[in-house]
Structure 1
Amino acid sequence: MSRKTNKICKQSGVIPYRVRDGKIEVLLITTRKRQSWVIPKGGVCKGMTPPDSAAKEAWEEAGVVGQVNTEKIGAYQYRKRGNIYRVNLFLLPVEQVLEDWPEATQRERIWLDISHAAMIVKGNSLRRILHISQNQVKIKN
């Protein structure tokens, strides 16, 4: 019996964050069907670097803009429709929160303390990366 090989799809995503009153807040968004809380991510666009592609996803899915840190902070995998998706994650210090963005009618967004965000996101690997990222954010007030 031959074993089906799963396609591995490369994606990139961001952990959008801001610092308020000395505390790190992370922006989470819902999936399109509003079933769970996730971070902005998507396929790496042809001709773009993973960080640049992740910044594009942040704008499209969450309506936030900033300069993505080009150093990868972690990666995780998930399965969907028979494929394996490998997501490289980058930090995004949010500089601007838009009132209108491409997927505004398809998603909700919420700012949460990073510890609370880690408790409600979908996936254990993403939870671990959120906890790790807390130590990598430079707090400047």
Structure 2
Amino acid sequence: MLVYDITKRRTFDHVARWVEELRTHADSSIVIMLIGNKADLGDERDVPTEDAVEFAEEQGLFFSETSAFSGDNVDTAFFRVFEEIYGVVSKKALECSNGIKSNGVDLKGAKIDIISGSDLEISEIKKLSACSC
């Protein structure tokens, strides 16, 4: 997820470079979603939604506007990314089961469980996440 602030144009102006860096250094099957955050501050908007939609379409990115403050569309954005990642992993698993090696990764037996947002509180998600940074 690449997140920019809809109230600060300069944050959006950096997105093209971030996409380029991701595509240069990440696996070719990476799922990238562009997120315009602070949608609750629409009256302070400095990045028109149309600009972001156009950029996302040109780059083949998924797009959503969210508000971390109010929580609007946050779950939806994460679930969309999870669905797309699941699709990529499922395709790779299918290729592996057919004897096709996918980027040198053996996905035999790989499983992804997606838990409904209503079943899991944010605090529980934080407990489950493991960050190596």
Q: Which has the higher strand share?
A: 1
Larger radius of gyration: 2
Q: Which has the higher helix share?
A: 2
Q: TM-score, normalised by structure 2?
A: 0.23
Q: TM-score, normalised by structure 1?
A: 0.22
